[in-house]
């Protein structure tokens, strides 16, 4: 039986990058500082590939088609540490948590996952929901932050730009109280 707010019960709808807008994974191997590059039009495919290099590479990072950092080597180190159990091992009681405030900014909504890869995938795709959160972050089973809200947002914006979308965000505010957010997405080819 699924736990309430379990990430695994949600479908994943990645946005494929347009031709010529692939993401690039750069991995520095320990042998003679050799750097290999892997290209893919799906960001999550490269994040999965990045996880496979944990413990075998000196550093790795994912870059957008514009050459901007999407997942920095510092972020990669934290993700590798989390995959090794450095942020606690997931159990039925404590698992990876994706959290963020939704329409009521005083309430933090939590989703759980036994898989780090699924948690990362859900975190940045959750921002694409119409009534999704203002921000999202990934927290390890021991309560420490693995991916900050800035890093999750960076991944989301990079995927949208690669797919040919522009994003404008508006916050609705009346009488000093925050009511919600409005996303206006436009596809620019």
116 closest CA partner among 135, 136, 88: 88
Residue 6 within any structural domain of the chain: no
How much of the chain exceeds pLDDT 90, in percent? 43
Residue 27 resides in a domain: yes
CA-closest candidate to residue 97, choices 136, 46, 153: 136
Residue-wise pLDDT for 108-118, tens only, equals: 888 899 999 99
Cα-atom radius of gyration of the chain, to the nearest Å? 17
- pLDDT band at residue 2 using 50, 70 and 90 as cut-offs: very low
Q: What is the largest CA-CA distance in the chain?
A: 61
State the pTM of this model: 0.81
Could you read off the pLDDT of 17-58 as tens digits, one per residue?
888 899 999 999 888 779 999 999 999 999 999 999 988 899
Q: Tens of pLDDT along 72-101?
A: 999 999 999 999 999 999 888 889 999 888
Cα–Cα distance for residue pair 3/94, rounded to 1 Å: 12
Secondary structure string (H, E, C) spanning the chain: CCCCCEHHHCCCCCCCCCCCCCEEEEEECCHHHCEEEEEECCHHHHHHHHHHCCCCCCEEEEECCCCCEEECHHHHHHHHHHHHCCCCCCCCCCCEEEEEECCCCCCEEEEEECCHHHHHHHHHHHCCCCCCCCCCEEECCCCCEEECHHHHHHHHHHHHHHCCEEEEEEEEEECCEEEEEEEEEEECC
Determine, yes or no, domain membership for 94.
yes
Residue 68 has pLDDT above 60, yes or no: yes
Question: Residue 158 domain-assigned?
Answer: yes
Asked if residue 154 belongs to a domain, the reply is: yes
How many domains does the chain divide into?
1
In a domain, 90, yes or no: yes
For residue 90, give its domain range: 17-187
**Residue 22 belongs to a domain:** yes
Q: Over the stretch 149-167, which tens digit does the pLDDT of each residue have?
A: 999 999 988 988 898 887 7
Q: Is 1 a domain residue?
A: no
């Amino acid at each position: 039986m699924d736990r309430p707010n379990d990430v695994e019960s949600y479908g994943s709808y990645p946005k494929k990058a347009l031709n010529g807008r692939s993401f690039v994974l750069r991995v520095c191997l320990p042998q003679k500082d050799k750097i290999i590059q892997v290209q893919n039009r799906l960001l999550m495919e490269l994040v999965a590939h990045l996880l496979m290099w944990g413990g075998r590479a000196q550093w790795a990072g994912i870059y957008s088609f514009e050459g901007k950092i999407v997942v920095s080597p510092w972020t990669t180190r934290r993700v590798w540490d989390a995959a090794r159990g450095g942020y606690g091992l997931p159990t039925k009681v404590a698992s990876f948590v994706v959290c963020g405030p939704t329409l009521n900014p005083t309430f933090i909504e939590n989703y759980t996952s036994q898989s780090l890869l699924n948690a990362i995938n859900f975190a940045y795709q959750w921002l694409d929901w119409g009534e999704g959160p203002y921000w999202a972050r990934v927290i390890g089973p021991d309560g420490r932050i693995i991916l900050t809200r800035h890093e999750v947002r960076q991944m989301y914006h990079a995927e949208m730009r690669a797919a040919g979308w522009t994003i404008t965000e508006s916050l609705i505010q009346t009488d000093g109280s925050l009511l919600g957010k409005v996303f206006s997405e436009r596809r620019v080819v």
